[in-house]
Structure 1
Amino acid sequence: MSRKGQSITLSVTERDKAELEAIALEFGMMWGDDPNISKLIKAIAQRKLIIGKNHDWPESRIRALHRCIGALTYIGQMEQAQIIANLLLERSELSTPLRNEILSFIENTPPAWRLQLDRYILRQQPFQLSYQDAAERVFNFTVRYAKINPHEKRQYLDCWCEETADNKDVPELTHNWCFRLDRILDAAITQIAGEWRSQLDEIEVEMHLLNNLAFAYQAKPQDVFNEWLPDTQRVRKVVRRVSNTFWFMREIMQYTPDCVIVAPENVRSLIKQKLISCCENYDLHLSD
C-alpha cells in the first residue's frame, strides 16, 4: 500500500523563491545537490528551525554595534569586527546607506596574513614574521609578544622579537619593535615553538612637570608614580613605564619647556640631542 503525500502551493515571486532556496541551502535542506524549499517548510513546521522577529532592535543597539565595528578595527581586531558586521547584515532594520557601508567593509577584507596575525595574537602563539616593505626589502623576525596599537591615528604592530640588529632604541629596549601595518605590502607568518612573553620590555622614566602642566596633567595607565615633589609649589614628579622612546618623545616634546626628563640618563640624553638639533635649526648656539 503506497502512502499518499500532501502538497501545498506557494505563490511567491522569483526573488522570494531565490531567498527561500538560499535559506534552505544555508541550513542544509537539500534534495540531491539542490536546495529544497519543501524540506525547509517542513523543518519550520516541526520546530527544528525557529522563526524570530528580525525588525525589533532599537536604533541605539544598531548604533552601538556599528561603533563596535570601528573600535575593533581601530585596535586591529579584524575578525571580531567582521563577526559584528555580519550580525548586523542579518537585520532588516538597517538603512540602505548603513547596509552599503557595512557591505563595503566586508568586501574590503584585509589580506590573509593580517587575519592570521590577529589569530596568533589572540591565541598568544609565538610566530615567525617575514615581510616585504615598500622598497622590496625582506625582513625576518621571531616574535614572542605582539599587540596592535594605534599611534597617531595609524595601526602599528608593537612586538618583542629575538632580533635586535639595527634597532635604534636605548639598549634596554632593543628587543621591542614597532611596525606600521599599512606599509607591509605582503607577509608570511608561521607558527613557532616556545613561550609567549607577557609584555614588551620596559624602562621607568622619571619626569618633572612644571607650571600649568603640573596642574593639568592627567595620569596615564603606564604611570607608576604621580605626586607633587615635597617642598615645591609647582613641580609634579611622574614616573612612567616606557617601551618605546620614539613614541614617548613624540608625546612629551610638545610640552617643552614644562616637561623635564630627569632619569634615566640615556633617555635624558636623547631629549637633549633633540633640543640641540632644534636650536641649531634656528641658528641658536648653546654652550654647556
Structure 2
Amino acid sequence: MKLATYQINHTSPRLGSVEDNHVIDFEDIGKIKKEGMPKTMLDLIDLGLPEVQRIQMIIDSLSAEERSNCIYPLSNVTLLAPIPKPRKNIIGIGLNYTEHVAESARTLDTSHDLPQAPVIFSKPPTTVTATNTEILHNPKLTQQLDWEVELAVVIGKKGKYVPKEKAMDYVFGYTVINDISARDCRRSGQWIVSKGQDTFAPMGPFLVTKDEIPNPHNLNLSLKVNGVEKQNSNTKFMLFNINDLINDLSTVFTLEPGDIIATGTPAGVGAGRNPQEWMWDGDVVEATVEGIGTIVNTIKEI
C-alpha cells in the first residue's frame, strides 16, 4: 500500500492510501463502513502490517458510490511528510556507498578507507519537512548547503539484537529522504550541526509498505538541482545493506516502531564536485527513489 499523510484545505493532518493519483481517506472510510481506523501514520505503524491488510480489504469492498465519498484527487490535497513528527531522531548512515566514500575523502576530512562498520549520526525530528516546501538556508551558519538523496527505511516493530536473516521482518516500509547537509558546519568530527538544522530532512512524498517493494536492494535513486541531474545510482551499491544496518543498529540501541533509518547517499554530492557546488536561494532540488516517488523542495534564504 502507498500511504500518505496530507491536508485538505488546511485541515488537521489526515491519513490515506494512494491509488491512481487519488487519495482514499481512512477517516471517511471509517465513517462509511462504521469501522475503527488509525488516525496517523504512527498509529498505523503501531498496529502493523496486518492492519494495512485489513484496511486494504475494506477499500476493496467499497461500492462505487461509497468510494466516491472518500476519494480526493492528489492535485487537490497538500502532502505532508509521511511521519510529520517522528518520535525520535532520524538515524542517518554516513559513507555507505563506495564512490561517495572516495569523493568525501577527496574534499572533506573523511578517510579514504571503506568503513568497517556503519557510520551512524542522527537528525532531530525538527529537520523533517514535506515535498513542495522550503529548505531553510541560514547563510550565517553555512555557505556550503549540499544535497543527498537516500532510501529511508521505516521500522515496524520493536527489535533488539536482530539477526541479519530476520531483519526484514522488522521493516514496515520505505520513503525518500533528502539528507540536506551544511558541509562547513561539522564540529570536531561531529555531524549534527551539519545535518540537524530545521528542514534538513525533506521526506516523502509517500510511505510505501514493504510488500510493494520486493527488493529494496535494487532501486534506482537520483537527484536533480534546477533540472540538472547530480546523482544517479542504485541501492545495490550500498556497503551495508538494510539487513546489515538493522542488525548493527539494534545491537547499539533498541529499534522501535516508527524509527526511520536514512540508508546513505551515493556519489554526486556538491562537495565532491570539481569545482564544488552548493545550493542557494531559489534553487529547486528533486530527490527520487524508484517505486516511491519524488520530493521537490526550494531553497529559501532566511
- Scaled by the length of structure 1, the TM-score of the pair is 0.24
Answer 1 or 2: which has greater strand percent: 2
Answer 1 or 2: which has greater helix percent: 1
Bigger RCO of structures 1 and 2 (CA < 8 A, at least 6 apart):
2
Higher-Rg structure is 1
- Scaled by the length of structure 2, the TM-score of the pair is 0.23
